[in-house]
Amino acid sequence: MATLWNKGSSATETVEKFTVGNDRILDLRLAKYDVEGSRAHIRMLRSIGLLEQDELEKLSAALDRIAAGIEDGSFRLEDDVEDIHSQVELMLTRELGETGKKIHSGRSRNDQVLVDIKLFLREELRRLRDEVLALFGTLQSLSEKHKEVLLPGYTHNQLAMPSSFGLWFGAYAEALADDMFLLGGAYRLINRNPLGSAAGYGNSFPLDRRMTTELLGFDTPVYNSVAAQLERGKAERCVASAMGSVALTLNKFAADCCMYMCPNFGFIHFPDELTTGSSIMPHKKNPDVWEIIRGKCDMILACENEISMLCSNMPHGYHRDLQLLKDILFPRLELMHDCIGMTDYMLARIEVNGHILDNPLYRHLFTVEEVNRRTLAGTPFREAYRQVGVEVNEGRFESSLGDMPSLRASDLGHTHIGSVGNLCNDKVAELMKKASNW
């Protein structure tokens, strides 16, 4: 097998198969970023005199051809080549001979892998940002569209107080704004340049790390070479943590939808083609999509812990087990993209029940409203609470609100920030704009 570290002896096929694992498959996702990092590296090598101008031009043209192959899908990792970095260098050497061999000057596979992963994760985070923003927009639109439609609120899964679809949809929109701040934090950690740290201890070549930082669009270098290597694992964990926050939001929303779709609730409905049936019960309309979203989000939530466990017992510097980070994180990123996209797809087709409170089952929903009405009229709160509690226990409780035909959220008189009568969706939109400004 072709390796960058080959010194004349080879590992056995059994050792190679075990140590490489799925890395060759996962590495293909890094191919375009390996070329991107190499382009910056050779320009820097030319600036410090380690490449001649004609060598730079030949290498640049060859890298462009490799990039085109990656783009059109013709690029592949040959059977006897260890990884993407070896493949790119091998192709350059085949085409350009000694000039191709010069590309690795001043670079270790350690910082090469690091920069590839950071470029990849940076793009993944940008993609997640765009997807979350799209879902946020959908939730805010639904919140405004259904802001007057009342919905029972629950605590302990017991009937609690009046809510609204505007409040429910809007809550998850604002939760996504919180998640966006965490995605932005991960992005800022990712967006620092490790290239030039080599194997973790720098290099005797006069590398211009500021130049590669600028060429690759990073905010700053990771200044300390050892610190650059310490980010392997930390960067992936931060991404997993931020992604887990989004997953937790979607997980809870999916759980709500599973409950609200149940005929015992009947709060929301989806077209038949978005539900599934039973093999023996012809009446069933199962919330399989939401259950799968809920389960996949649980898998995403586990990602941060898996990364932490993998990296928790390593001294500083590179260790081969760090390779396994890709096995953990890369598939979960795909799950995250799928879950956000499918949530948005389902919400574009959601139907809400506008007459939920017509059911006498919800007659006690307005007990707090009645306590507050009596308190405003002069009865001490605890006395008003006791009075209403006695009426409920004796089956005598009546609420004027409950008798109002076609009761709307605005009829409740809730005016404070964040209530059913004052959703503050415009303020939440401003918050999201701030959170996504990275």
* Nearest CA among 255, 263, 201, 208 for reference residue 227: 201
| The pLDDT of residue 282 is above 80 | no
Q: Which helix (H) or strand (E) holds 383?
A: helix 381-393
Both tokens of 348, joined, read 């574009």
Kindly give, in sequence order, each residue whose CB lies less than 8 Å from that of residue 273, ignoring residues fewer than 6 positions away.
Answer: none
Containing H/E element for 14?
A: helix 13-20
Measure the CA–CA gap between 115 and 190, rounded to whole angstroms. Answer: 10
CA atoms within 13 A on the CB side of 205: 20
The number of residues making up the chain comes to 438
Tell whether the model's pLDDT for residue 278 goes beyond 90: no
Query: Is pLDDT of 40 > 80?
Result: yes
* Residue 201 contacts residue 30 (beta carbons within 8 Å): no
**CA–CA gap between residue 434 and residue 384 (Å, rounded):** 43
Name which residue leads in pLDDT, 20 or 235.
235
pLDDT higher than 70, residue 100:
yes
Q: How many CB atoms lie under 10 A from the CB of residue 223? A: 11
The pairing of beta strand 268-269 with beta strand 220-221: unpaired
Looking at per-residue pLDDT, the higher value among 329 and 17 belongs to 329
Average pLDDT over residues 121-125: 97
SS3 154: strand
Q: Is the pLDDT of residue 86 over 70?
A: yes
Token readout for 409 is 């959220």
User: What residue spans of 48-164 are helical by DSSP H?
Assistant: 53-72, 84-96, 98-101, 109-145
Domains of the chain, start order: 13-104 (1.10.275.10), 109-202+223-357 (1.20.200.10)
Q: Which of 193, 168, 182, 70 is nearest to 128 (CA)?
A: 182
For the chain, the first-to-last Cα distance in angstroms comes to 42
Tokens of 73: 């899908």
Report the alpha-carbon angle 21-26-29, nearest 5: 160
Residue 427 corresponds to which amino acid?
A: K
**pLDDT value at 18 more than 70:** no
DSSP class of 314? P
> What integer is the mean pLDDT of 242-255?
98
State yes or no: pLDDT of 244 exceeds 90.
yes
Among the listed residues 195, 25, 180, the one whose alpha carbon sits nearest the alpha carbon of residue 117 = 195
Q: Return the SS3 of 159.
A: strand
Secondary structure E strands in 135-274: 150-155, 158-164, 192-193, 220-221, 268-269
Q: What is the pLDDT of residues 206-216, one digit of tens each?
A: 999 999 999 99
Rg, Å, the chain Cα set: 29
Which pLDDT value is given to residue 84?
85
Structure tokens of 269?
A: 């409905």
Summary mean pLDDT of the chain: 91
**Per mean pLDDT, which of 171-185, 263-277, 322-336 is the most reliable?**
171-185
Give the pLDDT score at 415: 92
Quote the pLDDT of residue 81: 82
